[in-house]
Amino acid sequence: MTLGVIMQFIILPMTIVAILVGFFVLGGVLFGGGDDPEDHLNRIRSRSGREAWQAAYELSVLLAKDEKLRSDPALAEKVARAFHDAAGKDVQLRRYLALALGQMGNEVSNPVLVEALSDGDPETRGYVVWALGASRDTSVVQHLLPLLSEDDPGLRKVTAFALGHLGVRRATPALEPLLNDRTDDVRWNAALALAQLGSRSGLFVLRSMLDRESLSKVSGLSAPQRQEAMINAMKAIALLDDRETRPTIERLSKEDPDLKVRENAMRLLEQWRAP
């Protein structure tokens, strides 16, 4: 199982995800996209509000699909300039442009993102950390490690996520204290990140994520989020080949009320039975 696969299922910083999903389910109906980055940049420059945000997000999606565009330094300069121009004017646009810069992950975009780690808006900082995690540039780890001790649990959570995706094992000692964090999903993200780094130190947290009764007591955790937590934990347990958890996985495969949880448990058991 690759780091990319885990990233698709890792517990996401829900403030960011809720905004992306809520806005773009609607926005995708209202506005057209396209495969020309200049078109998106022109819309960012000439429009405002929702239409500009939509263009910035569509640009990040386009960059994610096209390696040639991601490696274009001239395009990176233009996106970085738009990111700078949005400072103090449109905080939401700046957040979405951070996602676009993160897709580029080069010598132009990453210094701009690192500088933005001191942005005065906490949520923008979260987007920037997310973008640095997506950048594939392991040199940014040194700038992310101090954020694990931030007071904001959302920032600690997204930083753990980013470090897990970047896959640099020297981040392991800095992540381990978060296994005892006072915030549930910070602990979960730390355990998932450590599994990506090959560390079994978070197994006790991963196993607790398979306890539906305990999850039901977590304030504000919805049924889809409980499902996500359990599936994420199983994927990390598979990554670590933790067969001591097998009795729990077998029980979930037969008894859990959530069909997707049962399916993932059965898939893990099949993986363990394979030669």
- Distance (Å, rounded) from C-alpha 45 to C-alpha 48? 8
Q: Read off the pTM.
A: 0.85
For the segment 97-103, the average pLDDT, to the nearest whole number, is 93
User: Which ranges in 86-222 belong to alpha helices (H)?
Assistant: 91-104, 109-115, 122-134, 141-144, 153-166, 172-175, 184-196, 203-208, 212-216
103: which 2 tokens? 């897709």
Contacts (Cβ under 8 Å, ≥6 apart) of 89: none
Contacts (Cβ under 8 Å, ≥6 apart) of 37: 59, 62, 63, 69, 75
**pLDDT the model gives residue 220:** 86
| The one-letter amino acid at 71 | S
At 18, is the pLDDT very low, low, confident or very high (cuts 50, 70, 90)?
very low
- Distance (Å, rounded) from C-alpha 73 to C-alpha 82? 14
**Block residue for tokens 């094992």:** 169
Model pLDDT for residues 153-178, shown as the tens digit of each residue? 999 999 999 999 999 999 999 999 99
- Distance (Å, rounded) from C-alpha 79 to C-alpha 45? 11
For the segment 71-94, the average pLDDT, to the nearest whole number, is 92
Cβ atoms within 10 Å, residue 44: 28
**pLDDT the model gives residue 275:** 79
